[in-house]
Amino acid sequence: MAKQPAGGKQGAGKQASGKTTVGAGGELHQTNSDPETRLTTNQGVPVSDDQNTLTVGPRGPQLLEDFVMREKITHFDHERIPERVVHARGYGAHGYFETYKSHSKLTRAAFLQDPGVRTPVFCRFSTVAGRAGSFDTARDVRGMAVKFYTTEGNYDLVGNNIPVFFIQDAMKFPDLVHSVKPAPDRDFPQAQSAHDSFWDFVGLTPESMHMLLWVMSDRAIPRSFRMMEGFGVHTFRMINKRGEATLVKFHWRPKLGTFSLVWDEAVKISGADPDFHRRDLWTAIESGDFPEWELSVQAFTEEQAAEFDFDVLDPTKVVPEELVPLTPLGRMVLDRNVDNFFAETEQVAFCPSHMVPGIDLSNDPLLQGRLFSYLDTQLSRLGSPNFHQIPINAPKCPMHNFQRDGHMQTMVPTGRVSNEPNSLDDGTPREDPAGGFQTFPAQEAGSKMRTRPESFADHYTQARLFYRSMTPPEQEHIVGGFAFELGKCQLTRVRTRMLGHLKLVDKELADAVADKLGMPGQADKIKPAAEPFDMPPSPALSQYAKAPKSIAGKKIGLLTTPGADVKLYKSLLKTAKAESAMVEVIAPKAGPLEMSDGSTIQPEHFLSGAPSVLFDAVVIAPADDSLASDPNAVNWLRDAFAHQKVIGYNANTESLFAKAAVEQGADAGVVEVTDGKFEAFVTQAKKHRIWDRVV
Ligand code: HDE
């Protein structure tokens, strides 16, 4: 299934055309004398031996003059660039954006005018806290950064899967990040926020309360990048040809719906498959199941914004969709994996300051700080002001100016003129007053000061709104999230302070967390900067209230044994295909699996390497009752049941269920499928989980 990388001079993937040779050390390697494809140094010098360093005699000292070996090792020594200080672990793919229609009333942005035009995009998803080598399913915010290669320059929408942020002013960002990163003395814990330094910082920073509710919710453990919403977070402006401005908030909605893992799954997946999310995205794209998102805006005027109970410049606030509904703009499809992770995903440089005509900024203080930070970080990460020349960052429209030279300059500008104005050469680039980027002429006045607007002071109302807009299972998960994280904090004052904040959010929430911690009645008394009030609940904030009843894009695991019922297997494949879902087979051993008709299939997994946490719904249909004596199989079933999954089973599973203490037909989600009929199974699986299953 893997796509062969592009061939060419460095052609990997193709069978070498030359001879296979056994080297002096017994190694097998290929030789090739074709000048088009043979191995060379970076200077193009053909290499005769890539296995052995130059020595004096077979056992003698190595020679410094071996420029072939030194060039190879030196290059290797410099293979890494600094990883991103945040969002280091990420995964990207190419695709396109198509506008549904012309949005010229709203914006003059070129990529939002012509429905027939596909604008190329590159999208990178990421976790925030962990290093590049950390695991995918950490409880964390996910980044969702999209670079649109428009005909009027690159536009970067650098967003997250949560619509608010921890802090209101960029000045606090280094402290926030230092607090969540591993402690500097001991360098742990990695890739998680369940520790004293994080909860101490956020407990002292009440503006983070709304974000904390989101981060303790299911949003922070997404099932898949393909099943994640995305948000621009800040308020931006759109400007039309007449120069009229509308305030907007950006939203990405996944076509598959928004789904999450449960915490115990996330924990187990991090061991079973640390690459769970990247593998999922890569596999879906390779198999032609291209993920898709709808881009929408909430569009409103300055006058409307002035009427809201919150300040739209405050990045800790959402504009409830019940107040301003979404206006769909177009769709993004990711249809091509990268050819090279480093060249593309690692070197892509997103900057919120990469704007295009028709889109403009607001005074959100966090956004303003980001405008500085990202360009600055690219200089240190990519090492040169010419990072825009790296193919993944280069605009796909004409680009001309008089910026010159610098490290790793790859362009060769011609002519004697590198300045403007000039009257020496009419062919040099000139400004375009009408077509060029124009900043909206917002009126600004005031004294210079370091302060926070009073309108940013209410830190609890929207946290309460979020909690009260959740379905009961989502609320339970939030309680579990807080209890887990605070339970990992060793300092009592860190816990009691947070319980005090939670009390201001919602008393029931605070009591439930305190109860789980075994600390009832121990909340600190906290005086809020502004008294919270009740807003009408916003069902649009709940993932499950609006989840599509579908298993499209989901994965069904079929656990079976040699002699597996071929009819049932084929019927499951057919059913899954009709629902755009995937099936993967798990057998006790890795080798080919014999089926009931004597044919063989290659199972995707062997049992001890593929716990049921890797699948959205499971079918257990062995050929006999041998699984009952395999502890991996017992745990497989127990976990699937505990994670509220839909479980299909056949007649050979009675003793396995007894061992796992799961009752066959325990609820509507434990379905017999011996006859190979999957209608009831699919109907249940479309609920995502059996929410009312008590475990
Ligand atoms: Fe970032 N952020 N950020 N951030 N951010 C970075 O830029 C920063 C913030 C986001 O896939 C860094 O190239 C500051 C909000 C994403 O390459 C850095 C502040 C949101 C990515 C940086 C914020 C984001 C980054 C690290 C507070 C959601 C990954 C490496 C003012 C709207 C992009 C890099 C990718 C990456 C700074 C807050 C999203 C250091 C100073 C709010 C998706 O420049």
- Local structure of residue 15 (DSSP, 8 states): P
What pLDDT score does 3 carry?
38
Does 90-389 match 555-685 in CATH topology?
no
What pLDDT score does 131 carry?
98
Domain ranges of the chain: 90-389, 555-685
Ligand 1 pocket member 370 (CB < 6 A): yes
Give the CATH number of domain 90-389; options: 2.40.180.10, 1.20.140.10, 3.20.20.140, 3.30.460.10. 2.40.180.10
Neighbours of 55 (CB within 10 A): 12
CA 100 – CA 503 distance, rounded (Å): 45
Question: Averaged in consecutive runs of 10 residues, what is the pLDDT profile of the chain (695 residues)?
Answer: 39 61 87 94 96 96 95 94 97 98 98 97 98 98 98 98 98 98 95 97 98 98 98 98 98 98 98 98 98 98 98 98 98 98 98 98 98 95 97 98 96 96 95 96 96 97 98 97 98 98 98 98 98 97 93 98 98 98 98 98 98 98 97 98 98 98 97 97 97 91
Catalytic residue among 154, 160, 386, 393: 160
Q: Which atom of ligand 1 is nearest to the CA of 348?
A: 17
DSSP 542-578: -TTTT--S--TT-EEEEE--TTB-HHHHHHHHHHHHH
CA 456 – CA 438 distance, rounded (Å): 29
Give the CA dihedral 650, 656, 662, 665, nearest 10 degrees. Answer: 20
Tell me: domain 555-685, CATH 1.10.443.10, correct?
Answer: no
Distance (angstroms) between ligand 1 centre and the Cα of 89 equals: 13
What pLDDT score does 13 carry?
53
What pLDDT score does 576 carry?
98
The amino acid sitting at 638 is R
Is 160 an annotated catalytic residue?
yes
Ligand 1 pocket member 373 (CB < 6 A): yes
Question: Pairing between strand 142-150 and 118-127?
Answer: antiparallel
Give the CA dihedral 614, 615, 621, 624, nearest 10 degrees. Answer: 10
Ligand 1 pocket member 173 (CB < 6 A): yes
Is 393 an annotated catalytic residue?
no
DSSP 403-430: ----TT------SS--SSS-SS-TTS--
Ligand 1 pocket member 86 (CB < 6 A): yes
